[in-house]
Structure 1
Amino acid sequence: MDRRQFLGSAALAATALPLSGMASATRASPARLLPMPLAKGDTVGLVSPSSATDDSLNLQLAREAMEALGFTVKTGAHYDARRGHLAGTDAQRAGDLNAMFADASVKAIVCTRGGSGAARLLPLLDYAVIRRNPKILLGYSDITALHCAIQARTGLVTFHGPIGSGSWNAFNVDQFKRVLLDRELLEYRNKSDIGDELVQRQNRTLTIRGGKARGELIGGNLTVLTALAGSPYLPDFSSKILFLEDVSEAPYRVDRMFSTLKLMGALDKVSGVIFGECTDCKPGDGYGSLTLEQILDDYITPLKIPAYRGAMIGHIREQFIVPVGGKVELDADAGTFRLLESVFRA
């Protein structure tokens, strides 16, 4: 997939760091910082911190979706730029993001798409400006790099969910309204859709280990998250609820990434695990492969903490909007998690 070459080089660079660098990835995070609330009629900023779009229609659809949700739209100066596979130079993309945080008229920032390249921006972001202007940041996949870095450096709660150019189906619109506009203390429970089946097959959750756990959410895309290993842009995992998703990764790669989380001590620190969807992660042709279920059993079950898989998080049409840094209670037996307190300023 398009982000693998970049992430592979980032992971290689991380292996060259001394072990003390690994330890820096789990240092204590700053105090949690809540974003300002959002209301219809506010201005939403559209930025492209990762890959460029291959069709200008996607940018038009992102604008139209935000307008249909009831917002005025302001676009980054370079949101439609291109340099190779990236949406402009690193300086341009980081500059757009910094400008949106600094702009008092912009109340939320939505990323037009993921792909790859967001991690290149992390040293260029103005974390002091972000800290002084806490606002909603929404996106997923490669945007995990921004969620992690902003959480690690400022403590700001951000939101893992649909990108601007993605599907704004009824489920995603409902999530947006309930989480970001109505500021509901939502219980995240998979949509029940039995269709014409005798028993439900779609959107099933499976308990890895039962029980309940509480903590702040951390995580996102597994590939992007582990590519930050050894950097100062990975938050502390202590007592956190780890949520993960991925796409188009062979099981042996998923195994390698879980091994990285284990070796760096991250898995031993979390209080619970929510594994979303690993879309198109089936074994390829060849001698043989571990299954995703076996990999999770190898790494998650021995932790003896509440965990489940199958949450509606990831590269899927209908997806949860998850507050990164929000305090939740995980119920692994029920296959749910719920917000315990508001993730917005009063």
Structure 2
Amino acid sequence: MLKPKSLKRGDTVGIITPSSPAPVLYKERYQRGLIQLEKLGFNIVEGSCTREIQSYRSSSIRARAEEINELIYNDDVKAILSTDGGLNSNSLLPYIDYEYLKNKPKVVMGYSDVTALILGIYAKTGLTTFYGPAIIPSFGEFPEMVPKGKEYFEDIVKLKKRAPFSLEVPLERLDWNSQDREKEMFNNESWIPLREGIATGKLIGGNLNTMTGFFGSEYFPKLKGAILFIEDGYKDMAIQERSLSMLKVAGVFDEIAGLVIGKHDHFNDLGSPFSLDELLIEIIGDTNIPILSNFDIGHTFPSHVFPIGIEVVLDTTQGTITFLEDGVFE
């Protein structure tokens, strides 16, 4: 298993905009995100598409892929972070220089639509990538990044916490769309064990809706024996039934060792007489694997950072996830 070096003060971070032209659409929040990175001690190199806009995307497919490759080739850049998500990062998968990144590994992090990139890179190189904060929604919070979110980021990429350790249930902050006001922290509903059990495996996953854009391709990791995590935001019950059933008919629930479901931000139940958790159990059927729901990953603030490919223990009898190894080396 290939791991990048941990980050330290003074390192250079490269910024990519692989899908939505979010820095143009959310200029103030983007600037807050850059300032937060500087406060964390990083130097910043903005990618070539950061200030571009072509309707729903920042730039052409080739230009967005080249933006990533330019930062991959820049040996001064120790980490590549995404500005935001979108819908079209999967378009870039055929054009990334995986071999160079494999030989010169660095931290690559994002969430939501960037699932395509972090899973694609892991599948093609074996390099641990990171499902974690993006510049605009996470680092750019008002008036600053949620303290626990910053802590979880530094725990993982700066090695401020060493494995083995179990993840905590944080207080949470709701509705990032209300950008420029203080937000109240709420007691968390905690994580919900839907099926009890204990399983050990490699942590692999990301945004479920994004997975539909490259599932079954050479860029999607093998899931045999994995602890799969999936999360989504702004979707409805019908879309979730379709996406979860995709995993069912592909045999995923029969080959993974355990399942973690993230909180679903702005979920529309369409007036259904059942919950999303109940829908999941209906689809999975008799497959007997431990399942933990309502987890703080992805579209929730603060969000834990998941290193893709590390060994973890999922214990739904205790409601815990324990990292057995670090995602970076010192």
Q: Same fold (TM over 0.5)?
A: yes
Structure 1 Cα separation of the partners of residues 282 and 319 of structure 2: 20
Among 41, 47, 52, which residue is 2:10 paired with?
A: 41
User: What are the residue-to-residue correspondences of 1:1-346 with 2, within 5 Å?
Assistant: 32-53=1-22, 54-166=25-137, 167=141, 168-184=145-161, 185=163, 186-191=165-170, 202-284=188-270, 288=272, 290-300=274-284, 302-346=286-330
Gap change, CA 1:72 and 1:82, over 3 Å in 2: same
Give SS of 1:147's match.
Answer: helix
Note the alpha carbon deviations across 1:49-89, whole angstroms, 9 max, x for none.
11002132233222111101111111112211111211111
Structure 1 Cα separation of the partners of residues 120 and 224 of structure 2: 16
Note the alpha carbon deviations across 1:216-261, whole angstroms, 9 max, x for none.
1111111011332232211101000000110111112111111111
5+ unaligned residues in a row in structure 1: which ranges? 1-31, 194-199
* Preserved contact between residue 116 and residue 210 of structure 2 (Cα < 8 Å): yes
* Preserved contact between residue 110 and residue 163 of structure 1 (Cα < 8 Å): yes
Structure 2 Cα separation of the partners of residues 105 and 325 of structure 1: 25
Q: TM-score, normalised by structure 1?
A: 0.84
Amino acid at match of 2:110: G
Structure 2 Cα separation of the partners of residues 183 and 151 of structure 1: 23
Structure 2 Cα separation of the partners of residues 132 and 50 of structure 1: 26
Cα deviation for residue 183 of structure 1 reads 4.8
Cα deviation for residue 327 of structure 1 reads 1.2
Note the alpha carbon deviations across 1:268-324, whole angstroms, 9 max, x for none.
110001111112223225xx4542021121234622111110111121121111111
Identical pairs, percent: 31
Amino acid at match of 1:45: G
Gap change, CA 1:290 and 1:255, over 3 Å in 2: farther
* Preserved contact between residue 203 and residue 312 of structure 1 (Cα < 8 Å): no
Structure 2 Cα separation of the partners of residues 189 and 300 of structure 1: 27
Structure 2 Cα separation of the partners of residues 175 and 109 of structure 1: 17
What is the aligned-residue RMSD (CA, Å)? 1.7
Amino acid at match of 1:138: M
Length, aligned pairs only: 307
Structure 1 Cα separation of the partners of residues 69 and 117 of structure 2: 12
Gap change, CA 1:158 and 1:269, over 3 Å in 2: same
State the partner residue of 1:17.
none
Give SS of 1:279's match.
Answer: coil
Structure 1 Cα separation of the partners of residues 57 and 86 of structure 2: 9
Give SS of 1:108's match.
Answer: strand
Give SS of 2:136's match.
Answer: coil
Gap change, CA 1:201 and 1:69, over 3 Å in 2: closer
State the partner residue of 1:197.
none
Give SS of 2:232's match.
Answer: strand
State the partner residue of 1:20.
none
Give SS of 1:152's match.
Answer: helix
Cα deviation for residue 116 of structure 1 reads 1.6
Structure 1 Cα separation of the partners of residues 8 and 235 of structure 2: 38
Gap change, CA 1:158 and 1:145, over 3 Å in 2: same
Structure 2 Cα separation of the partners of residues 300 and 68 of structure 1: 45
Structure 1 Cα separation of the partners of residues 317 and 168 of structure 2: 12
Give SS of 2:268's match.
Answer: coil
Amino acid at match of 2:282: D
Give SS of 2:202's match.
Answer: strand
* Preserved contact between residue 190 and residue 336 of structure 1 (Cα < 8 Å): no
